[in-house]
Structure 1
Amino acid sequence: MTTPTSEGLVRGLRAEARRLGFAAVGITSATLPEEVAADLRAWLAEGMHGGMGWMAATAGRRASPTAMWPGARSAILLGLPYTPAVDPFRNEGRPDAGTISVYALGRDYHEVMKPRLKALARWLLGAAGGGEAKVFTDTAPLMEKPLAARAGIGWQGKHTNLVSRRHGSWLFLGAILTSIELPAGGEPGAVASCGSCSRCLDICPTGAIRAPYRLDARACISYLTIEHRGPIPERFRRALGNRIYGCDDCLAVCPWNRFATAPADPGLEGDPANVAPRLAELLALDEAGFRARFRGSPIRRIGRNRFVRNCLYAAGNSGMPALRPAVAALLADPDPAVADAASWALAQLAG
């Protein structure tokens, strides 16, 4: 077979990526500057990763893709849009409902992206006539956001998430590392453009964005409701409001989102039942009910206990005495964090 030129290979790669549904494609070398690793080390040293011990354990491999896979030469970064069809702030003033982050309203993005990344990697190796490739969907010690910024998909905003001129804050990132040398190139206009804007810092309910580009996960509602095990510290419970899985505030206020016109990928299939689920129904979930209710959803990975714990904090913040029976029924829950949250919520409702 005739091997295409590097430029021809990249053109074909971009076309195939678009066909598979990826809205953004960028290519960079499989390296990261030393300052990225240094910043990671400083962040870990301050303990800002909270209970995510795996981040510290894999810090050496996170420093650069070649530290994880020495054979990597190029990194292909892909963006899948999840532009929300509903208002991220839709449940303000709805104390009876729990708010789920818009990214988790539908199917688990890992399950949607990984088969497509594998298909694109197979295409690449076939078109190149050989080589190696590995795919990643937020499940390995790979720093996708700095790589995506170097690949020209966007830039890391002051909230530390990626921002794109074309897609705003609403992109899932995937990556392909390959042994094939590819010319770098990304989207037009990917230069950092936050300017003097501080909306993401100003809106954070817990002040987790300590300074521009500096996020303390220990105070972040997304971390607290998804990653944190055990009782959430009392000083943060009121700030949770009715957020029961994740938080969109810092992303939702970004001015660049007004340019995000690409709809969410059809494969993500948002579930209308997750838009404003009633807390009374969620508090009644047992393990089997939770698994059935969130089959195929990213919510399922945190388990029933952590999810019901979050719902109890929302109930405590609701000011709705009608929720007392549902809360009281969980005072003797076998999980200590659930029982503790029920006790706290009941005290709030009594007050």
Structure 2
Amino acid sequence: MVNTDAILLVQRLRAEAARIGFAATGIAPATDDPLRARRLEQWLADGCHGTMEWMETRLDHRRGPQSLWPAARSVIALGMSYAPAADPLALADHPERARISVYAQGGDYHDTVKKALKGLARWLVAEAPGAEVKVFVDTAPVMEKPLGEAAGIGWQGKHTNLVSRRHGSWLFLGAIYTTLDLPADAPHADRCGSCRACQDACPTQAFPVPYRLDARRCVSYLTIEHKGPIPHDLRAGIGNRIYGCDDCLAACPWNSFAQAASANRAFLPRAELAAPRLADLLTLDDAGFRRLFAGSPIKRIGRDRFVRNCLIAAGNSGDVALFGPVAALVNDPDPVVAEAASWALDRLVSVMPVP
């Protein structure tokens, strides 16, 4: 039997979500998905998560919404657009500049998305007294991308990220779990077809097969999650990317439908992060790093990991003008920074003209 009240509630919910800044809203059942869980188990068993132990330690909760919260009946999957106005790959031919992933050039999305999720959750509880809710944005064992596909707001592309026909690859995802039994949307069909643009664009060949990412080779993982020295055989592929990578996302043809005007203003790039000079970033001490990246998601990786990334980019740059800033870091107190500086120095020396 059709629950007219629930249908009307979902209609109002979509309107409220759009009002507070969400570009996409969908509903999925909260039941666990055994196939999704098996795929996750195999990915972890193969070690594709690298040193992200937190994915393994809470595997049981990642199996599905009800594994995390048995009382859940529905998932409200939400996406907030951060579609860029500028070409994400514009700095590829400017090795003296640092490339920061589009999503990290503005304010921290965790804060913006969570605030909106909480506001929508409060609205839902007021509209449906007695309902219980939990909100999640990238900090809990929640599989946002498969849930987004199940809720019909997009599909997981061959690069494993969610793709929307309307918003392309540029969506921050969040979820509200609720005890309400809401009418679900149909899962989104896969629209990748024979395209392999995202796989071909990857600078470190991080996709062994379509729909499977080996994080150990991914530039985003290496520059953000990985704490130790970056493997030497992957350094050249990193180029001048110092925090994250947009290449597989930017290559997706579906981005031609994404409109920058729909992006949340909180995610607009800060001028000092749109095209920073490597020479300036290499001189940052801890206090300077904290000042520059206050309110940015970049702050969480800390000065040492960040400068390590900048040194890899400096070594790849072929810019001998960076010799001085790099040499100053060879004796850095952090051994990972010092090793990266020595590597970068050797690379720069190799391209210096013979007097």
Structure-2 separation of matches of 1:44 and 1:236: 21
The correspondence of residues 198-213 of structure 1 with structure 2, limited to 5 A, is 198-213=196-211
Partner of 1:218: 216
Partner AA of 1:273 in structure 2: E
Give TM-score scaled by structure 2 length: 0.96
Structure-2 separation of matches of 1:201 and 1:268: 26
The answer to whether the 8 A contact 2:26-2:185 is kept is yes
Partner AA of 2:185 in structure 1: G
Deviation of the 1:268 alpha carbon: 2.0
Partner of 1:243: 241
Are residues 197 and 281 of structure 1, via their aligned partners in 2, closer, same or farther at CA, if it must alter by over 3 Å?
A: same
Structure-2 separation of matches of 1:287 and 1:267: 25
- SS of the equivalent of 2:26 reads strand
Structure-2 separation of matches of 1:238 and 1:285: 23
Partner of 2:328: 329
Identify the range of structure 1 (87-96 vs 16-25) with the bigger mean alpha-carbon deviation. Answer: 87-96
The correspondence of residues 53-72 of structure 1 with structure 2, limited to 5 A, is 53-72=53-72
* CA displacement, residues 224-261 of structure 1 (integer Å, 9 cap, x when unaligned): 00000111000001111000000001000100000112
The answer to whether the 8 A contact 1:37-1:64 is kept is yes
Deviation of the 1:131 alpha carbon: 1.4
- SS of the equivalent of 1:92 reads helix
Partner of 1:143: 143
Partner of 2:33: 33
Structure-2 separation of matches of 1:159 and 1:88: 17
Structure-2 separation of matches of 1:300 and 1:86: 23
Q: Structure 1 vs Structure 2: percent identity of aligned residues?
A: 60
Structure-2 separation of matches of 1:157 and 1:99: 24
Give TM-score scaled by structure 1 length: 0.97
- SS of the equivalent of 1:215 reads coil
Partner of 2:353: none
Structure-1 separation of matches of 2:232 and 2:269: 32
Deviation of the 1:269 alpha carbon: 3.2
Deviation of the 1:267 alpha carbon: 2.2
Structure 1: gaps (5+ residues):
none
- SS of the equivalent of 2:182 reads coil
* CA displacement, residues 139-173 of structure 1 (integer Å, 9 cap, x when unaligned): 00000000000000010000000000000000000
Candidates 239, 258, 261, aligned match of 1:260? 258
- SS of the equivalent of 1:210 reads coil
- Which aligned runs of 4 or more in structure 1 are off by greater than 6 angstroms? none
Partner of 1:128: 128
1:82 is aligned to 2:59 = no
Structure-2 separation of matches of 1:95 and 1:331: 21
- The alignment's C-alpha RMSD in Å is 1.2
Structure-2 separation of matches of 1:246 and 1:5: 44
Structure-1 separation of matches of 2:207 and 2:200: 9
Partner AA of 2:5 in structure 1: T
The answer to whether the 8 A contact 1:169-1:257 is kept is yes
1:284 is aligned to 2:255 = no
Deviation of the 1:82 alpha carbon: 0.3
- SS of the equivalent of 2:91 reads coil
Deviation of the 1:186 alpha carbon: 6.4
Deviation of the 1:92 alpha carbon: 1.7
The answer to whether the 8 A contact 1:153-1:186 is kept is no
- SS of the equivalent of 1:75 reads strand
Structure-2 separation of matches of 1:10 and 1:313: 49
Partner of 2:300: 301
Deviation of the 1:32 alpha carbon: 3.4
Partner AA of 1:77 in structure 2: A
* CA displacement, residues 91-120 of structure 1 (integer Å, 9 cap, x when unaligned): 122111000001111001001011110010
- SS of the equivalent of 1:214 reads coil
Are residues 280 and 262 of structure 1, via their aligned partners in 2, closer, same or farther at CA, if it must alter by over 3 Å?
A: closer
Structure 2: gaps (5+ residues):
351-355
Are residues 294 and 257 of structure 1, via their aligned partners in 2, closer, same or farther at CA, if it must alter by over 3 Å?
A: same
